[in-house]
Amino acid sequence: MSANPSDPGEGHSPAAWTAVVIMLVAFAAGTLFFVLNLPIGVYASVGLLIVGALMGPILAKAGYGVNGPKYVPKVHS
């Protein structure tokens, strides 16, 4: 990690966290549906994975990205 305090970090924003959590849930559900041989669930999980991938840039443009006006970085001690 950089010693520069103004460094925004690597995806420590609500936009990044939301996208990653949605994609993790989609991947876990898709794996479960695959094991249970439920193809509709697998395809729905792929759709959710795509939604999760789109949520990061959408939320970043809405101001929740690292450099957005709605982002408040945590102070680390």
Q: Is 55 within a domain?
A: yes
Total tally of structural domains belonging to the chain? 1
* pLDDT value, residue 9: 57
Q: Are 73 and 51 in contact (CB under 8 A)?
A: no
pLDDT in tens, 22-40: 999 999 999 999 999 999 9
Domain span holding position 21: 14-64
Give residue 6's pLDDT band: very low, low, confident or very high (50, 70, 90): low
Q: Is 70 within a domain?
A: no
HEC sequence for the chain:
CCCCCCCCCCCCCHHHHHHHHHHHHHHHHHHHHHHCCCHHHHHHHHHHHHHHHHHHHHHHHHHHCCCCCCCCCCCCC
H/E stretch holding 57: helix 39-59
